[in-house]
Amino acid sequence: MDQNILEVKEIGKSFEGTEVLRDITFQIEKGEFVAVMGRSGCGKSTLLYSISGMDDPTGGEVLFEGKRLAELPEKELEKLRLNRMGFIFQKANFLKNLSIEDNIIFPAFQSGQKSRQQIVKEAEALMERMGILSVADHDVRKVSGGQLQRAAICRAMINQPAILFGDEPTGALNSSATREVMDILEKIHQDGTTILLVTHDARVAARADRVIYLEDGRIKDECLLGKQEEKKSREKLLMEWLEKMGF
Ligand SMILES: Nc1ncnc2c1ncn2[C@@H]1O[C@H](COP(=O)(O)OP(=O)(O)O)[C@@H](O)[C@H]1O
Ligand SMILES: [Mg+2]
């Protein structure tokens, strides 16, 4: 059990009596890269929120690093989310009166474990890796969508989370910016961070080790893409499977 970072056991989620997720069970191993796919409205975002402490499932349980999320006091859960989990969304939602760099370092100050000097050093190393160091002092309104999303990844990674959760992180990007962002996520994964993305983009999901297909709030099937196969053959495998899923 120790190698599982996340264990989701028979969770469900209802909004005012309407069932959106049902009987969802899966595990994520440490170091895995998993994508969740499915049509719009099938429950991908709801699933992500329900397993990452952003929202409570209506039934079942979620264990993160062996801890039952539902049993954690609010403060503990907040700390866990700040220090052990990173989040990226379709839009970065940066504070508009702060520079890119100040937005990125903000969660590290919230965490309060390092000196300003150390935090800035780590942020600049991250920005360099993501290719956005040159826009560190820019206003968030003055950079491209791709740069902003790479900055959002820096912000998500600043506290060195064990897992990175993404909800359609390339949903607002064109295909070249999507490729850039996915190349970066692939590197982060290679460096040991576990990744769980929900997406309706097959090119994005093709980067994962494993893809879970969600339909009407249930897991329909999963597809193992493996690590060593050629990119082209992974994409082909995934496309054939998605066709079978009726995507
Ligand atoms: N806060 C909410 N209240 C009521 N219904 C919701 C809420 N959030 C999501 N839903 C419903 O749950 C279903 C799944 O939504 P969502 O998880 O956003 O799907 P996806 O991310 O796959 O597009 C949709 O039918 C949506 O209308
Ligand atoms: Mg969604």
Q: Which helix (H) or strand (E) holds 29?
A: strand 18-29
Look up tokens 């970066």; give the residue: 184
Q: Is the CB of 199 under 6 A from ligand 1?
A: no
- 171 CA distance to ligand 2 centroid (A)? 10
Q: Is the CB of 44 under 6 A from ligand 1?
A: yes
Instruction: Locate 240 and state its tokens.
Output: 């054939």
pLDDT at residue 207, as a whole number? 95
pTM for this model (two decimals): 0.96
pLDDT at residue 228, as a whole number? 61
Distance of CA 243 to the CA centre of its chain: 25
Instruction: Give the model's confidence band at 227: pLDDT under 50 very low, under 70 low, under 90 confident, else very high.
Output: low
Which residues lie closer than 8 Å to 3 by C-beta, 6 or more apart?
29, 30
Q: Is the pLDDT of residue 231 over 90?
A: no
Q: What is the C-alpha to C-alpha distance for residues 123 and 102, in angstroms, rounded to an integer?
A: 9
- Determine the residue of 13, 18, 20 to mutate for testing ligand 1's pocket, defined as the one with the most ligand atoms within 8 A of the Cβ atom: 20
Average pLDDT (195-204) is: 95
Q: Is the pLDDT of residue 113 over 80?
A: yes
Task: Tell which CATH classification among 3.30.1280.10, 3.40.50.720, 3.40.50.150, 3.40.50.300 matches the domain 4-91+161-245.
Answer: 3.40.50.300
- Determine the residue of 11, 46, 48, 218 to mutate for testing ligand 1's pocket, defined as the one with the most ligand atoms within 8 A of the Cβ atom: 46
Q: Is the CB of 43 under 6 A from ligand 1?
A: yes
pLDDT at residue 84, as a whole number? 98
Contact of 185 with 207, CB cutoff 8 Å: yes
Instruction: Locate 133 and state its tokens.
Output: 């160091």
Q: What is the C-alpha to C-alpha distance for residues 167 and 88, in angstroms, rounded to an integer?
A: 6
Residue having the nearest C-alpha atom to atom 4 of ligand 1: 15
Instruction: Give the model's confidence band at 233: pLDDT under 50 very low, under 70 low, under 90 confident, else very high.
Output: confident
Q: Is the CB of 217 under 6 A from ligand 1?
A: no
The length of the chain in residues reads 247
- 167 CA distance to ligand 2 centroid (A)? 7
pLDDT at residue 73, as a whole number? 97
Domain spans of the chain?
Answer: 4-91+161-245
Q: Which ligand is nearest to the Cα of residue 43, counting in written order?
A: 1
Q: Is the pLDDT of residue 49 over 90?
A: yes
